[in-house]
Amino acid sequence: MITIEKYTPCRHEQTLELQVLEDQAQFTVENIGKRLESLKPTELPHLILEDDRVVGFFLFDAAYSADYDFCPQRSLGVRSLLVDHRHQGKGIAKRAISQFADFAKLHYPAFDFLCLTVNCRNIPAYQCYLKAGFEDMNKLYHGGPVGPQYIMRQAL
């Protein structure tokens, strides 16, 4: 069973074990420990669990719409998503992403949308977001570190 929960220190050691393959590192967070240490107050870390074991990580960013003009106000950004390479290919990301909207409505009711960007070269991630309910806004974001990115969102 795939579930989402807010990050808590009791899961810190499991969270630090998460890794992606070398060719995926350019698209996501490479060092989760450093990322957790440098969180802004508006960056809300979450975990993806498979049968109560940490298999993934992502952030909801409550300031996303203030930082990115393509994102409507009252939107949560989805950032730094990763599923550990040892658990990829099992549909975990799609099942987790499919739960984002309901989770956000329950825990962050002040928001109306989820927004994100995904690198144009990261086709598996792009297709996963589409299958999980996000829509392509047919615009590109060109401010990313590794090339143009699709802008996607989902209404809450």
Phi and psi dihedrals of 149, rounded to 5? -135, 145
pLDDT tens digits, residue range 104-144? 999 999 999 999 999 999 898 899 999 999 999 999 999 88
pLDDT tens digits, residue range 52-86? 999 999 999 999 999 999 999 999 999 999 999 89
pTM score: 0.91
The domain in which residue 108 lies consists of 2-155
What residue has token string 């579930």?
Answer: 3
Residue 34 CA to chain centroid, in angstroms?
17
Phi and psi dihedrals of 28, rounded to 5? -145, -170
At position 73, the amino acid (one-letter code) is Q
| Mean pLDDT score across all residues of the chain | 92
At position 136, the amino acid (one-letter code) is D
Residue 101 to residues 54, 133, 140, Cα–Cα distance (Å): 20, 9, 23
Q: CATH no. for residue 107?
A: 3.40.630.30
79, 44 contact by CB (below 8 A): no
At position 87, the amino acid (one-letter code) is H
Number of domains in the chain: 1
